[in-house]
């Protein structure tokens, strides 16, 4: 039961990060709410990977890398979601424009 609650909290955090990314880069998200959830989950993974890499490889210590809620680093997750949102919408529009 605790794993299910933890997963639900992480999905909600991923959605919040994707909403924040959508505010930073206002784009039409493919798939609406499900697209935001998927972008948020991938963004959280990307953000966690980059934060862990910076902390371990370069011993880069900054408080914004370690601010977390339920084990999810917030600022790196928002940055990761922003990157994923930009890449997804850029490739979606590129594919759409290429078919004209």
What pLDDT sits at residue 3?
A: 81
Tens of each residue's pLDDT in the chain, 100 residues = 678 887 888 888 889 999 999 899 888 888 888 988 999 999 999 998 988 888 888 887 778 877 888 878 889 999 999 999 999 988 887 655 444 4
Is 38 exposed, middle or buried (CB count within 10 Å of its CB: 0-12, 13-18, 19+)? middle
Beta pairing partners, 69: 72
- pLDDT at position 97 is 46
> Could you give the CA distance from residue 74 to residue 17 in angstroms, rounded to a whole number?
8
Per the CB < 8 A criterion, the answer to whether 81 and 20 are in contact is yes
- Global pTM? 0.82
**Alpha-carbon distances of 99 from 2, 41, 62, 80, rounded to whole Å:** 47, 29, 45, 29
């Amino acid at each position: 039961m605790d794993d299910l609650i933890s997963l639900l909290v992480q999905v909600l955090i991923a959605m919040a990060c994707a909403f924040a990314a959508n505010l930073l880069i206002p784009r039409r998200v493919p798939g609406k709410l499900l697209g935001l959830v998927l972008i948020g989950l991938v963004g959280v993974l990307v953000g966690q990977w980059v934060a862990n890499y910076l902390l371990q490889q370069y011993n880069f210590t900054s408080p914004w890398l370690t601010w977390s809620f339920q084990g999810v680093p917030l600022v790196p997750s928002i940055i990761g979601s922003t990157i994923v949102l930009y890449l997804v919408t850029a490739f979606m529009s590129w594919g759409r424009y290429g078919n004209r």
